[in-house]
Amino acid sequence: MIQIAIANLPQGKDQDACLAGKLDENTWLLAVADGVSMSDGREAAQLAISILTNEIDVFDTARSVFEQFKVKLSNKTSKASKSATTLTCGLLREVQSFGVTHLRFEFFAIGDSPIWKVIRAPDGDRYYFQRYIIHGTPYPAEKSKVYSTVCLDEEYKIKGPVFFGCTDISDDEVLVVCTDGIPEREVFVGDFRQRREDIGLCEFLFQSDNYNEKSIKKVLDNYNTHGLLYDDATIIAARRSVPNLISLTDEAPLLEDSESNFAIVNGDDESPVHHGEPEKHEPILTDEQPSEGVTASLAQAKLAESGMTDFAIVNGDDESPVHNGEPEKPEPILTDEQPSKGVTASVARMENENSRNPHPER
């Protein structure tokens, strides 16, 4: 069983959109569109998700989805605008290889909206979790420049190169498809430099229950309360429903929520935020069986032709508070301790990426 959590938290621009559509028991269509703010990207982002939701008929490969998307886009006759968006889209399937069941994500990417594979670091490592970049910003790249977009100018078309790829996700790993508004440095470094009483994103990704939209949105709300979001933040997280995932200790505040079904989400809930001095809670392993996987509710009429049975669309059109002022930038930890093999390079790369801040206006 595949578990999905999806959320969007606008930061004033409100130009992201995303989709998690269940095609059958073992297949999901996932997509994230990050509207380019310099070109009023909301229209393009919503159009891209609308085409994927309502106008695609064949879902055998990511390339077939892309080719259909390209044709449907070019056939649009609406009045053109200057709107543009990125689009990262793929098919997530449960597959078997040599008797081992795992997830496989086959995707195409227009622009730089990232795909991560998040893993639990080895025991004794400085950081509890690490991420591998499956797709992201090209290198080298000019600051703030987007090299590929779905563009609605003189004609509706795709500008720039399109990246195709595939990755496998094991039972102890989590797939993340998101926009660059997710605070990567804080998630993978700052969360474990000084633990707060509210849980971080990585802890949520591996906890054994409450894997749904409301709970993951509360995690984003916590980052926003601490002034760590500088852009619209949109995320889709996916994993297999398996035992022995990390669970929080009893003292840690759980993100309680009993809802298991998705609907069209506008991001208008008022989520409680924890305050006070941080407590240190170590993640533990448990034999507790995770709750039933998340299933999405279906807009029946719209998706009947495409064959989707469940879906979630997130446009995030609420009036969310905007953090004013510069976000906090946690300083790297300097110690005499020698980090374990493999940590130094990944941390240096994360700090280098953040120093460039490739899309401050997005």
Write out the chain's pLDDT in tens, 362 residues.
899 999 999 988 899 999 999 999 999 999 999 999 877 899 999 999 999 999 999 999 999 999 999 999 999 876 768 899 999 999 999 999 999 999 999 999 999 999 999 998 877 777 788 899 999 999 998 887 889 999 998 789 999 999 999 999 998 899 999 999 998 888 888 887 765 667 889 989 988 778 889 999 999 999 998 888 989 999 999 999 865 566 544 333 333 333 333 333 333 433 333 333 434 444 433 344 433 333 333 333 344 455 565 666 666 544 433 334 444 444 444 444 444 444 334 434 444 444 444 444 45
Instruction: Tell me, rounded to whole angstroms, the distance of Cα 245 from its chain centroid.
Output: 20
pTM above 0.85, yes or no: no
Give the per-residue pLDDT at 266. 36
Of the candidates 132, 123, 137, which has an alpha carbon nearest to the alpha carbon of residue 168? 132
For residue 104, how many other CB atoms are within 10 A of its CB? 16
Helices and strands (H, E) in the chain, number of each type: 8, 18
Of the candidates 270, 318, 119, 303, which has an alpha carbon nearest to the alpha carbon of residue 206? 119
Give the per-residue pLDDT at 259. 36
Give the span between the Cα atoms of 239 and 174, in whole angstroms.
Answer: 5
Domains detected in the chain = 2-356 (3.60.40.10)
Which letter does DSSP use for residue 327 in this model? P
Give the span between the Cα atoms of 164 and 89, in whole angstroms.
Answer: 10
Which letter does DSSP use for residue 362 in this model? -
Q: What is the crossing angle of helices 62-74 and 42-54, to 10°?
A: 120
Of the candidates 277, 123, 121, 118, which has an alpha carbon nearest to the alpha carbon of residue 195? 277
For residue 141, how many other CB atoms are within 10 A of its CB? 14
Of the candidates 37, 55, 52, 40, which has an alpha carbon nearest to the alpha carbon of residue 87? 52
Contact status, residue 34 vs residue 362, Cβ threshold 8 Å: yes
Residue 78 tokens, joined: 């609406």
Give the span between the Cα atoms of 211 and 254, in whole angstroms.
Answer: 11
Give the span between the Cα atoms of 290 and 247, in whole angstroms.
Answer: 10
The answer to whether the peptide bond before residue 140 is cis (omega within 30 degrees of 0) is: yes
Q: In terms of DSSP H, where are the helices of 42-195?
A: 42-54, 62-74, 184-185, 191-193
Give the span between the Cα atoms of 205 and 285, in whole angstroms.
Answer: 14
Give the span between the Cα atoms of 303 and 256, in whole angstroms.
Answer: 31
Give the per-residue pLDDT at 245. 61
Distances (CA, A) of 42 to 11, 46, 152, 292: 13, 6, 11, 34
Contacts of 287 (CB under 8 A, 6+ apart): 243, 244
Contact status, residue 218 vs residue 207, Cβ threshold 8 Å: no
Q: HSE (CB half, 13 Å, CA atoms) of 146? A: 30
Counting Cβ atoms within 10 Å, is residue 81 exposed (0-12), middle (13-18) or buried (19+)? middle
